[in-house]
Amino acid sequence: MDRAFETQFHAAETCIVCTDAFNATHQPVALPCNHIFGYECIKKWIKDGRGNTNACPTCRHAIVNVPRPPHAFSAPSLWALVCELPPERLEMLMLNLWTGIQELWQQKPDGVFSVKELLSRVVLKGLETTGQAQWTPSDDQDTILDCYNFVISTWSSLGRPDSPSGLAIPFVRLARLMSSASSTLPKWLTKNAHTNLLIWKANACLGLTETTIDWRHVMEAAYLEDPQYFPLLQLYTLLVSRSIAHNPDPKKWPQRRHDIMNFVVERCCVKVGSIFSGGRPSNHFKELLVVVYEELRRYQHEKGCQAFKGSQDEEDVVSGLWALAKWDVRQGRLR
């Protein structure tokens, strides 16, 4: 026992968050998991942190077990709940959805998938696999399983049509977005937590009832006047960045503005733009896109910076790129 006191029991003298020593104004508190933090530091984490802040920053043990009240079993309520899930849970779901999409691509290399195929082979399979995986033992009301049961029951009651309805709409839309994005993303990036969370947010920002991802959504975001669709703009910019990284430039870079425009439109509107299934990009948006493309190309090729992965740190860079493009086009500047 004496040896245990010497080797295993250590007095906490500093806060592991801010590394400051504990004192009369910076008092230590112990969480239920026995990890010790400064009172003000852990309070700031719980109130202002991002992600699952009802968990110890060190071991992720729940700080407070709050029983969830019974929720209405409806498409709007379930979609709202699934959008509030911790990032770790959404990451698990995304990985399972990717498995279904990659299997579908192997069997149908043309990439033309029906709603029935996406629902049965990707969405329902991904929801079921994720829902059955161990997550939080104390949570007997799993949102993912609720979504699975709701989607399969409503779809079956309608005779399993080749069109989505209700809660199936955003999940089918997500599956199509992932399928289209997979032609640009390297396979290793489909396992990246930042990328997957960004894809989820890009789809979630469209809400429950939008059946397609339209060019107008990303164009509205590109004007930086409404933040609702910004995650979609960030994802689109990531795909453009990845296209630059993985596709070589032409042997001779176009010199005339018209030729540059045609090249960028082919790369970013025809190929990368396959994630959009409705509408067409406006001429004004194409002008913005040319500026963004050339800046990204300079950023990655000349400065040797890495292509985007979807982290929160990249949000300001994306906003800055499109703001710069907006300013240049407004001033009539040609780069």
Lowest mean pLDDT among 3-12, 155-164, 183-192: 3-12
**Average pLDDT over every residue of 161-188:** 96
d(CA 222, CA 319): 8
CA-based nearest residue to 103, from 115, 128, 121, 125:
121
Confidence of residue 140 (pLDDT cuts 50, 70, 90): very low
CA separation for the pair 32, 80 (Å, rounded): 29
pLDDT band per the 50, 70, 90 thresholds, residue 59:
confident
The per-residue pLDDT for 137 is 45
The answer for 34, left when phi > 0, alpha when psi is -120 to 50, beta otherwise, is left
Q: Which pLDDT does position 328 carry in this prediction?
A: 87
Neighbours of 329 (CB within 10 A): 17
Average of per-residue pLDDT across 78-99: 95
Between 131 and 45, name the one with better pLDDT. 131
Per-residue pLDDT tens over the stretch 213-229: 999 999 999 998 889 99
Q: Tell me the mean pLDDT in the region 108-129.
A: 95
pLDDT tier for residue 70 given thresholds of 50, 70 and 90: low
For residues 21 and 14, the answer to whether their CB atoms sit within 8 Å is: yes
Average pLDDT value for residue range 248-271: 90
pLDDT of residue 5: 46
| Six token digits for residue 137 | 């033992």
C-alpha 307/C-alpha 233 separation (Å) is 15
Cβ within 8 Å of residue 280, ≥6 positions away: 215
Q: What is the model's pLDDT at position 138?
A: 45
CA nearest neighbour of 276 among 233, 308, 245: 233
